């Protein structure tokens, strides 16, 4: 039974990913202001940008710093600004983005 459940969860995740791809344009329209604010806060630093993708509520700030080598002060300040702008759905210790962003979010210029 556990194997069936694992397979079901995997299938649901694939469907979710496909739906996100199909809905990306509408999501971008809905979240345009928040996405613009996120870009402004994060800036052009590749390490800061990488750290945003780890803000899924499962990584602490320390884990994010370890995986991306982002400066501790920069990450802390960025997370604080994101929290103040209501871009986080959770606490600042284990940040989770309140909006969805595509993998190429920082590569595109909206």
Q: What is the pLDDT of residue 87?
A: 95
Q: Which residue has the higher pLDDT, 62 or 17?
A: 62
Q: What is the pLDDT of residue 1?
A: 62
**pLDDT confidence band for 32 (50 / 70 / 90):** confident
Q: What is the mean pLDDT of the chain?
A: 90
Average pLDDT of span 4-31:
83
Specify the DSSP element, H or E, that contains 11.
helix 2-30
* Residue 17 confidence (pLDDT) above 60: yes
Q: pTM of the entire structure?
A: 0.72
> Look-up: residue for tokens 């982002």?
70
Q: What is the pLDDT of residue 27?
A: 72
Residues 51-77 have pLDDT tens digits of: 999 999 999 999 999 999 999 999 999
DSSP codes joined into one string, 31-89: THHHHHHHHHHHTT-HHHHHHHHT-BSSS-HHHHHHHH---HHHHHHHHHHHHHTT-BS
């Amino acid at each position: 039974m556990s194997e069936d459940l694992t397979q079901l969860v995997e299938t649901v995740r694939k469907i979710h990913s496909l739906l996100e791809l199909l809905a990306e344009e509408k999501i971008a329209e809905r979240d345009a202001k928040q996405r613009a604010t996120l870009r402004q806060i994060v800036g052009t630093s590749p390490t800061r940008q990488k750290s945003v993708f780890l803000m899924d509520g499962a990584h602490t700030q320390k884990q994010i710093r370890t995986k991306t080598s982002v400066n501790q002060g920069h990450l802390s300040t960025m997370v604080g600004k994101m929290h103040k702008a209501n871009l986080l759905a959770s606490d600042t210790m284990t940040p989770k983005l309140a909006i969805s962003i595509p993998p190429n979010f920082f590569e595109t210029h909206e």
